[in-house]
Every structure is written in structure tokens, then in C-alpha cells.
Amino acid sequence: MIRFHKEGYTIIAITLLIAIGSIVLIDSFIEQTWLQIAIKAVVICFLILILQFFRNPKRVTNLDENTIVAPVDGKVVVIEEVEESEYFNDKRLQVSIFMSPINVHVTRYAMGGVIKYSKYHPGKYLVAWHPKASTENERTTVVIENNTFGEVLYRQIAGALAKRIVNYATEKENVVQGTDAGFIKFGSRVDLYFPLNTKLNVSLGDIVKGGVQVIATK
């Protein structure tokens, strides 16, 4: 059975009502059969796109303090050492995962631990792969700490289509690896910032699966 994320309930309901209403109006006001079929096909395709975007497949995470799992589904587009200037103010190993509109957009906690920092930043809507997206786009920054990795930062970043980021992390909260950390609506990316000695299990271009695939170890 397909599950949908709670952040999509309202949009799904509105889209379904619009789709039903549109089909009724099409039958009432358009006489040409070919045109009825064509417009109905467009309406149904749009409904399917909305449903697939908000799907929330059940994932079983193998809990392990010595591993970091992918927080989202998507493609690894950045692996590099960078200066992280919002929280650490030192060099970190950055891994960025880009989500296309057809990916599952649930954000999951990459590791278990205590939330040390959680902050929302309003901003622009540059395309998610733009070099300045991580510092200028709408985004949230969250830092989790555990005994194995110390502090790890992840950043939800809105893309050109994303117009709302949902972040469930609150400071001082204990979180469980693989559980629901939020949602980004309509295209986006997630950046992770690890200690430099972290061992990565992914390479540029890899496709990862959120909540289950190990992307780094200590």
C-alpha cells in the first residue's frame, strides 16, 4: 500500500478535488471526444505527479552509531573539503545530494544523537545545483551530535521549484537514525558536513536511498 507524507495531505486533497471537478466540466462543456481525452490525460498525469511526489515509502534503518545513512533519495553531486562558516567556522567534508522532482522528498535523520543547533534561513530560489544555493537559498541548518562522529551538520536547501522547507528538528531533542526529520516541497538538495577524517562510502554520481544506504563510516 502506498503511503503519503503528512505534509502532502492538503495539497493532495485539493489536487484531487480539482481533478474531479475538471473531468466533470470537460464532459459538460467540450464536445470533441479527442479533446476530452487529451485534457483528461493531462489532468490525470498532473494528479499522478503530485501523488508520487508526496509518497512516503516505509524504510527500515539498521541502527548503528558507527554509520551515517543517506538523509534523502537522490544523486551525489558534490564531494569536497570546504570552509563551513555558519556553525563550525573550519574545514569540513561536504557531501551534497540532489533530489529531482521525481525523487522521494522525505528528509530522514542521517544519524542518531542530540540536536545541538537548528535554524531556518529565508532566501532565494536558485536552482539547487547552483554554487551559491547553500548560502543564498531558503534553507535550514541542523547539527546532530553523537559519541562516534561528534557533530555533523546537514542543510536542507530549497531549489528553483521548492517553496517550503519543513524541519522537525528542535534543539536538545534526542533523535533516532532514519526517522522523519522533515520534508522539502518540489525539488531541492541536502548538504552534509562531516569531520575531515570521515570515511565515505559514496562517490560523485552515485544514486542513494534515504534512510537505508550507508554513505559514511568513522
| Residues designated as active site | 188
Q: What residues contact residue 22 under an 8 Å CB cut-off, 6+ apart?
A: 39, 40, 43
Dihedral of alpha carbons 74, 76, 81, 83, sign: negative
Query: Residue 71 contacts by C-beta under 8 Å, 6 or more apart in sequence?
Result: 97, 107, 108, 109, 110, 154, 181, 190, 192, 210, 211
Residue 93: CB partners within 8 Å, gap ≥ 6?
A: 79, 80, 81, 193, 194, 195, 196, 198, 200
